[in-house]
Structure 1
Amino acid sequence: MSNVSNSAVRALNLEYKSLQDEPVEGFRVKLCNDDNLFEWEVAIFGPPDTLYQGGYFKAHMKFPPDYPYSPPSIRFLTKVWHPNNGDLCISILHPPVDDPQSGERIEERWNPTQNVRTILLSVISLLNEPNTYSPANVDASVMYRKWRDSQGKDNEYPNIIRKQALAGKLDAEKEGIVVPLTLEDYCIKPKSKPTNQEMALELTDFYDEDYDLDTDDDNQESGESDYGNGDDSGNGET
């Protein structure tokens, strides 16, 4: 990739490490190629208690050479019947230009304070609340509105989603991946921070390893032995 900025490499390195250390619930990310930091594969787990529950969907995220000043693009690799399938239509993924025809305010669009974490959370939100104003998949958008307006009486849209979610779950099983089905499993438990007592113990262990805290006692015992020898020699009978 030509004209790659150093700031883009630094930003992506930091974000990738952060997502490995503290993953976003419902997502797993990895590099498509270990030698290319600008293309990621995203695994998306369907949120529990939604039409997508149990689903396992893959997407491709591609970053521009001037990231984070320009937004990345996201495209589903697996079949997802969704009004915004294809290139995901999320406001924060649109360049920060004033476009009255889009119906979006410029502050809703991309800015460098956004990051991969906020994008992925927006994708989860988009699954449950599609953008039907500018759909990438018009047929899916029409079907979704029909289901929504029927208050769940028309089942064509949810039936397609459930079939795709089941197919995705089977693909995950083939890859040895366990798809979270409950909210408890779906939500990632935060790593517990050490308590003040644990930190104090760690510091004590550190100093114990690097310094001999019993030096005075050892010297005292050693000194008593020396003095004892001295006393024996000084007070011994001739």
Structure 2
Amino acid sequence: MATTTSVATTSALRALHAELIKLEKEPVEGFIVKANDENLFEWEVAIFGPPGTLYEGGYFKAMMKFPHDYPYSPPTFRFHTKMWHPNIYENSGDVCISILHPPVADEQSGELPSERWNPTQNVRTILLSVISLLNEPNTYSPANVDASVMYRRWKDSKGKNKEYEDLIKKQVKGTELDAQKDEVIVPKTLEEYCIKTKETPQSQSSVDLADFYDDGDYGVEDDDDDDDDECYYDDEDDSGNGES
């Protein structure tokens, strides 16, 4: 007789397999994913910096790890590319965002239950939320206080204080070598970001990323019908999707 744990694991594997197939058939601009052939609970992710933002031209590598009761519990999302961002922990690369928080009552967090994880969420909504988060940090409950202060200083000065901007641009520049190594062409224009990556999904999804994290900076051990020409990020500040 199957145990509750084994049933949950089987259900999670089915859900993840279905999501992977859907992403391969209906890719969304802004990211590429590659599931671990030996462990479907670990997905390698690469996010492209949205054009028109400080992250334009960036190629940011990360890992998603799914619990064995997925989708009833959220996965974790950890950047392996060194990131300086108000809602990303500097030392670990872990993303702190409401959608990845368990659906439990937590009055101190200030989050509404509707902002937290629920089983209707999926890999696609997570990745789109993370992409949006890059340019829309939540500075009211930061994971990196210093980055939050620096960002607010830049924002409040309307870009006159260049400290935050220069640091992010340097960070983006540093990802070029990884993109070259992985033989990935990073979209830098809005047309490339919104259309080209969707017209040639095979060229991106079939990239051999066997050495995806060989020299990551952190050294960690450890469904919708979308308009083809639509992009899924905006540039509004403090959207509230990065609660710690």
User: Structure 2-normalised TM-score?
Assistant: 0.74
Q: Would you say 1:159 and 2:166 are equivalent positions?
A: yes
Q: Deviations over 1:109-161 (max 9, x none)?
A: 11000000001110111001112222221111111111111111100001011
Matches within 5 A, 1:166-181: 166-181=173-188
Structure 2 portions without partners, runs of 5+:
200-244
| Distance (whole Å) between structure 1 residues aligned to residue 197 and residue 44 of structure 2 | 23
Q: Would you say 1:143 and 2:143 are equivalent positions?
A: no
Structure 2 CA distance for partners of 1:12 and 1:53, relative to 1, 3 Å = same
Q: Which has the higher contact order (CA 8 A, sep 6+)?
A: 2
Q: Would you say 1:93 and 2:100 are equivalent positions?
A: yes
151-160 vs 20-29, which moves further? 20-29
| Distance (whole Å) between structure 2 residues aligned to residue 63 and residue 133 of structure 1 | 28
132-141 vs 51-60, which moves further? 132-141
| Distance (whole Å) between structure 2 residues aligned to residue 113 and residue 10 of structure 1 | 15
Secondary structure at 1:187 match in 2: helix
Matches within 5 A, 1:107-126: 107-126=114-133
Contact 2:30 2:49 in 1 (8 A): yes
- Displacement of 1:180 in angstroms is 0.4
Q: What corresponds to 1:30 in structure 2?
A: 34
> Identity of paired residues, percent?
72
Structure 2 counterpart of 1:127, one-letter code: L
Matches within 5 A, 1:221-232: none
Matches within 5 A, 1:1-238: 5-31=9-35, 33-85=36-88, 86-188=93-195
Structure with the greater alpha carbon radius of gyration: 1
Contact 1:89 1:131 in 2 (8 A): no
Structure 1 counterpart of 2:172, one-letter code: A
Contact 1:41 1:59 in 2 (8 A): yes
Please give the root-mean-square deviation of Cα atoms over the aligned residues, in Å: 1.9
Secondary structure at 2:52 match in 1: coil
Secondary structure at 2:184 match in 1: coil
- Displacement of 1:170 in angstroms is 2.7
User: Structure 1-normalised TM-score?
Assistant: 0.76
| Distance (whole Å) between structure 2 residues aligned to residue 191 and residue 51 of structure 1 | 23
**Structure ranking higher in helix proportion:** 1
Q: How many residues align?
A: 191
Structure 2 counterpart of 1:102, one-letter code: S
Q: Deviations over 1:35-80 (max 9, x none)?
A: 1000011101100010000100001100000000000010110111
Structure 1 portions without partners, runs of 5+:
193-238
